Amino acid sequence: MSAPGMIIERRPVPGGGPEGPGRGAGSTRGQLLLALFCGGYATGAVFGWGSQQLALIMGDFGLAAAALAAAVSCFLYARAHGSRFRPAWLLFAFSSAMAAAGNAVWGWYEVVRERPVPSPSLADLFFLLFAPPAIVGLLVLAKRPVTRAGWVCLALDSWLIAGSLLTLSWSLALAHTTHFEGESVAHAALSLAYPLLDIVLVSMVLALHFRRSKGNRSAVHTAIAALALTVLCDALFTSPLLREDYRSGQLLDAGWFAGSLLLAYAPWGARRTAETAVPHRGPRPPRHLRHSSRPIAGSLAALTPYLAAAVCTLGILYNVIEGRHVDRVVVFTGCTVVLALVVRQGIMLLDNIALTHELAQKENHFRSLVQSSSDVIMIAAPSGVLRYVSPAASGVYGRDADELIGTELAALIHPDDLGAVVHEVRRFLAANPAEEPTTRIECRFRSGTGDWLNVESTVNRHQGGLIFNSRDVTERVRLQAQLQHNAEHDPLTDLPNRALFTQRVRQALSGRRAGDSGTAVLFIDLDGFKGVNDRLGHQAGDELLVQAARRLQDSVRAGDTAARLGGDEFAALIAGDAGREPGAREFQVHEIADRLRLTLSQPYQVEGNEVRVAASIGVAFAEPGISAGDLLRNADLAMYRAKAGGKNRVELYAPQMQADVVRRTELATRLRSALHDGEFALLHQPVVDLATGRITAVAAHPRWRSGQGILFTPAEFLRVADGERAAELGRWMIEEAVEQAAERHRLGHRVPVSVRVPARRLLDRSTPLSTVEALLTRHGLPAGALIVELADSDPRIPFDELEQRLVALRRLGVRIALDGFGSGYAAITALRRLPVDILKLDRGLVEGVVESARLHKITSGLLRIAGDLGLQSVADGVDVPEQVLALRAMGCTHAQGMAFSGPLDEYRLRRALVGEEYPVPVGVPLPVLTGTPTTGTLPPMRSHNETRVPPT
């Protein structure tokens, strides 16, 4: 089979027919019961019912019961279903009721009164009322004409059938009926009324059988069959040959009985049959078989007038052949039938001319639509050969439509797309057209230049073949590809972004190389990049990132992936190597990471400037069962450990890093509620005058004792505190320090309290100066009793605004201390610009002041500056007597540290304040680096360990 045939070939889907097991069981049961009743009645009629009396009862009251059942059935159905056919079934119910009444009256005379039925009688009236409602009901069931010409044709068709039947009947029987001598006019009229009404009813049945509506066709067919059977029995009854010998209970009654039961069964049994039909899911029959009944029905409908004229002609010929005188009724009826046929043909001719003109207009309209459409419309035959191609092909495909006609469709589709197209077309052809009338196919199509165009086609079924409505979507596909690339790549460096990198990591962990050992992820952070941005601007920073990305891309292997995660963070995926031992693979990846670090740390030329940055790299190796998210997290933790360890280094992930993160996270979670739960306490460390040993101030230190009994210093819990918790803790610390200092003032211990406040916290708009003033006023603490220690004097903070805040505090009477003096390059700037009362030496200077001659000189110089400016100096972290002697000799005025006391709780602090002073070492300070024992005497030093925090 050729490729086009493979595309169009229809393959049935395995499955059952339209009805599954058990479907239609109720309908079959009803049909069996109907056949059983009718067969039983016919059998009884053939054998005479066993007795004359039973034959009369079954022939009269049996027919009445059957007609009454039909009347009740049609009435109940019309009452329960409010469709537009409801009047038809009500009329059928009335017609059957008349038949039941007529048979009942007939039985009254023959069975009850045991006398012949008079003629005419009330039964004749009921029987005459049977046909008119049935005729009107058939009109209601018929498909109504939509034009006036249609109504005229319907009337003409009915008269053609009626006239032909009247001609034939008159020639055969009715002419004899009209010449009965000795009969009354009423009897003669009644003799003619029965056959004439039957002729009208048969005419309506034949005329409307081919004009039935699309409603419940099974019910309509059954009802028409029931009325046709009834009319046939009436025609036999009116025949002179049968009427003279007719007796109730004979076989003719079985026809009436069957007609009544069939009409009773029509609405319910036929409806159940329609409902049991389900959507066709099995293999559908060929289209020419499914629609074969439609041409036959249309042909019979078109031939009906000619058949009627033929029957009329046969009636006249019968009279001529028998040598009879042609009756005037036959001549008049024949002429009217011929005239009706001529008129009908004229109407049909005019209608056909109008339809032809309308069809030509529509054809021209659709041809213009097809030819002017920008989409290409192609029709493929069942063999897969193109039979029609619209002119738009020259503009879309660059090929003439005539050139494409006769071409195999498969020859125009890209070989890589042909398999998917074949599969989709076969699936579409096997599907139910009602459920899936169209499908959509995208493939590449060969253009006239030999290029491949991306084509999207809407496919419909067409006489066993297919109709393709195709359009060129090449630009859309390119745009989608570009959008997809933009969504997965960094716009600055064109490296894969975080989303694509995560997808690649996931593929590496779950693909065919998932078992390879040594798959690693590298997280890279450029140290010092922020300084480049601040110094040279963001454009220079972007240029540096582009150069770094290029170096990273050039340094990894072809099978590896380099990505930019955002900001100055990059990443690399190093594919595993199944042929190496884990130890050797780890060494290799570490070597790659170190080479990347050296490469990224080389100088960059940015806008004529030489710029240097370093690289901190974290490495994490894939383990069995690890997810992509966990592997990326491990690499991130290792990278932050590298930055915390001094930067410009490579750090391998270790499980302890995750444990540290979990611990910090838990600590941060507990910290959120610790302040409200009263787990924080404030300790105070005395600040001692080095000349007298007197306590001149106390420095506030917060401590946190968690619910688990663990004591945390500020260096531990402030590291995990977020901005909101840190601000809340700062507000609590200053309020608690002021409140406790005010209480000590009321007890007579008038020593200032020093509170350490970060410089950025002072600039926080949520802590206005009025809050500090209100706090001092509320607790009754003099402003001079509060010392604010300015910490973290970062040069990037706005000094003008900070100076304004400090000046405002000094106006209140609050003294300002510069904390950590000598530890940063911003100290001199802060000292020059900010209003400072106290200089607090950094602990780093104090620790080596005795051992290091360099630190000794630096500290001495700083203290000399403080003295020249008239500032009070405080040394922090004075822990041994040698430091006390050295600092005092340099001119330091105050100190705090373990040489005097550690942080104390409120009870021990008050005891220390009662004593008012600490012993100060006396003597000559030791020469730096000599190790010679001191010539002075040192007083015995007691333990000044930090007091424990009282339980909360």
Contact (CB, 8 A) for 222 and 266: yes
Closest to 512 in 3D by CA, of 561, 572, 576: 576
DSSP string, 18-33: SS-TTTTHHHHHHHHH
φ and ψ of 495, to 5 deg: -85, 155
Q: What count of other Cβ atoms lies within 10 Å of the Cβ of residue 22?
A: 8
Closest to 243 in 3D by CA, of 180, 200, 182, 166: 180
What per-residue confidence (pLDDT) applies to 896? 93
What per-residue confidence (pLDDT) applies to 565? 92
Length of the chain equals 952
Whether the bond into 118 is cis, omega within 30 of 0? no
Contact (CB, 8 A) for 568 and 525: yes
Q: Provide the pLDDT confidence category of residue 123 given band limits of 50, 70 and 90.
A: confident
What per-residue confidence (pLDDT) applies to 179? 47
φ and ψ of 234, to 5 deg: -65, -40
Q: CB-based contacts of 9: which residues, under 8 Å, 6+ apart?
A: 1, 426, 429
Q: Provide the pLDDT confidence category of residue 107 given band limits of 50, 70 and 90.
A: confident
pLDDT at 449 over 50: yes
Q: What is the Cα–Cα distance from 582 to 559, expressed in whole angstroms?
A: 19
Q: What is the Cα–Cα distance from 807 to 669, expressed in whole angstroms?
A: 38
Closest to 222 in 3D by CA, of 84, 63, 92, 60: 92
Task: Work out the angle at residue 222's Cα, subtended by the Cα atoms of residues 219 and 223, and round it to the nearest 5 degrees.
Answer: 85
pLDDT at 279 over 90: no
Quote the pTM value: 0.49
pLDDT in tens, 147-179: 777 777 767 766 666 666 566 555 554 445 444
Beta bridge partners of 573: 521, 561
What per-residue confidence (pLDDT) applies to 215? 53
Q: Which helix (H) or strand (E) holds 59?
A: none
DSSP string, 456-517: EEEEEEETTEEEEEEEE-HHHHHHHHHHHHHHHB-TTT--B-HHHHHHHHHHHHHSTTTT-T
What per-residue confidence (pLDDT) applies to 707? 61
For 822: left if phi > 0, alpha if psi spans -120 to 50, otherwise beta; the answer is left
Lowest-confidence pick of 278-282, 597-601, 893-897: 278-282
Residue type, 699: A
Average pLDDT over residues 108-119: 82
Contact (CB, 8 A) for 428 and 435: no
Query: In the chain, what is the greatest distance between 2 CA atoms, to the nearest angstrom?
Result: 176
Pairing mode, strands 786-791 and 614-621: unpaired
Q: What is the Cα–Cα distance from 684 to 905, expressed in whole angstroms?
A: 7
Residue bearing tokens 């693979």 = 585
Q: What count of other Cβ atoms lies within 10 Å of the Cβ of residue 565?
A: 20
Between the alpha carbon of residue 244 and those of residues 186, 236, 240, 826, the distances in Å are 18, 11, 6, 137
User: Rounded to 10 degrees, what is the CA torsion of 50, 51, 53, 57?
Assistant: 10
φ and ψ of 616, to 5 deg: -105, 125
pLDDT in tens, 712-727: 666 566 665 555 667 7
Q: Which helix (H) or strand (E) holds 841?
A: strand 838-841
Secondary structure letter of residue 12 according to DSSP = P
How many helical (H) and strand (E) elements, i.e. helices and strands, does the chain have? 36, 21
Average pLDDT over residues 529-548: 89
What per-residue confidence (pLDDT) applies to 22? 45
Between the alpha carbon of residue 92 and those of residues 61, 69, 75, 131, 132, the distances in Å are 20, 12, 8, 10, 10
Average pLDDT over residues 448-454: 87
Average pLDDT over residues 806-819: 88
Q: What is the Cα–Cα distance from 504 to 524, expressed in whole angstroms?
A: 17
pLDDT at 185 over 70: no
The crossing angle, in degrees rounded to 10, of helices 293-321 and 148-169 is 40
Q: What is the Cα–Cα distance from 359 to 908, expressed in whole angstroms?
A: 112
What per-residue confidence (pLDDT) applies to 624? 83
φ and ψ of 815, to 5 deg: -90, 150
Secondary structure letter of residue 118 according to DSSP = P
What per-residue confidence (pLDDT) applies to 498? 93
pLDDT at 278 over 50: no
Q: Provide the pLDDT confidence category of residue 525 given band limits of 50, 70 and 90.
A: very high
What per-residue confidence (pLDDT) applies to 15? 42
φ and ψ of 155, to 5 deg: -65, -40
Q: What is the Cα–Cα distance from 502 to 515, expressed in whole angstroms?
A: 18
Q: Provide the pLDDT confidence category of residue 952 given band limits of 50, 70 and 90.
A: very low
Q: What is the Cα–Cα distance from 787 to 790, expressed in whole angstroms?
A: 9
Average pLDDT score over the chain: 77
Q: What is the Cα–Cα distance from 816 to 561, expressed in whole angstroms?
A: 55
DSSP string, 719-744: TT--HHHHHHHHHHHHHHHHHHHHHH
Q: Which helix (H) or strand (E) holds 937?
A: none
What per-residue confidence (pLDDT) applies to 723? 58
Closest to 618 in 3D by CA, of 590, 595, 652, 656: 652
Q: What is the Cα–Cα distance from 330 to 651, expressed in whole angstroms?
A: 118
Lowest-confidence pick of 23-32, 77-86, 710-719, 934-943: 934-943
Contact (CB, 8 A) for 467 and 377: yes
pLDDT in tens, 819-871: 876 565 556 777 788 888 999 888 888 888 888 888 888 889 889 988 888 89
Using a 10 angstrom Cβ sphere, with 0-12 exposed, 13-18 middle and 19 or more buried, the burial of residue 777 is exposed
For residue 639, the SS3 value is helix
Instruction: Output the six-digit token pair for 631.
Output: 């592997």
Q: What is the Cα–Cα distance from 811 to 289, expressed in whole angstroms?
A: 106
Residue type, 459: V
Closest to 681 in 3D by CA, of 950, 460, 881, 421: 950
Q: Provide the pLDDT confidence category of residue 371 given band limits of 50, 70 and 90.
A: low
Q: What is the Cα–Cα distance from 106 to 60, expressed in whole angstroms?
A: 6
Lowest-confidence pick of 131-140, 216-225, 239-248, 860-869: 239-248
What per-residue confidence (pLDDT) applies to 550? 94
Q: Which tops the pLDDT comparison, 572 or 194?
A: 572
Secondary structure letter of residue 528 according to DSSP = T
Q: What count of other Cβ atoms lies within 10 Å of the Cβ of residue 210?
A: 17
pLDDT at 2 over 90: no
Q: CB-based contacts of 275: which residues, under 8 Å, 6+ apart?
A: none
Average pLDDT over residues 371-383: 81
Q: What percentage of the chain has pLDDT greater than the value 90? A: 16
Residue type, 890: M
Q: Provide the pLDDT confidence category of residue 38 given band limits of 50, 70 and 90.
A: confident
Instruction: Output the six-digit token pair for 482.
Output: 């570009």
What per-residue confidence (pLDDT) applies to 14? 43
